[in-house]
Amino acid sequence: MEEWTLNQVQGDVLRVPSAVLFLIAAVKDKSMTDEQLIGLARSAAAKAYAPYSNFQVGCAVQSVDGDVVTGANMENACYRLGICAEQSALTAAQHQFGLDRIARIAVAGGTDATVCTPCGGCRQTILEAAQLSGRDVEILCGSGDGSAIERHTIAALIPFGFGPANLRGTD
């Protein structure tokens, strides 16, 4: 499977030095294929800091306008301080275009044919963005070796989820 880099999708890449390890790419082409978005997630995974688990995960978040941001997991010797790739990319998305503008997300990790899906905590965070946007956000989940892609929605991955919609009108 061909690896896609941010430079192949759009010429200008803004590299932001940060502990969150994210890249921001201005991608205005709304017709980005699933394979290209997963490719960006795989490229982000290559930049992960995972010396303890050796399980590198990358995430690409695409806005309704076609902008894309990426993030990677970052582990820490104090394990609970680690950051998931999805959290990293969603933080970048909030800064770049806002959580309410998220159209779809791609996540990929590992090195074999096992499809990588968001963990429970990341599903909860994606649900928050979905409820803010009023869209059932699509999530593309890819294997590390590029052999498999699954398509899900956040509603399918976290049925009966609790989010901002549950708190409206509780004042």
| Helices (H) then strands (E): counts for the chain | 6, 7
Give the residue numbers annotated as catalytic, written as ranges.
86
Q: How large is the angle between the packed helices 34-45 and 85-96, nearest 10 degrees? A: 110
- Give CA–CA dist 114/31, Å, rounded: 27
- Give CA–CA dist 123/23, Å, rounded: 21
Token pair of 72 as six digits: 């990677």
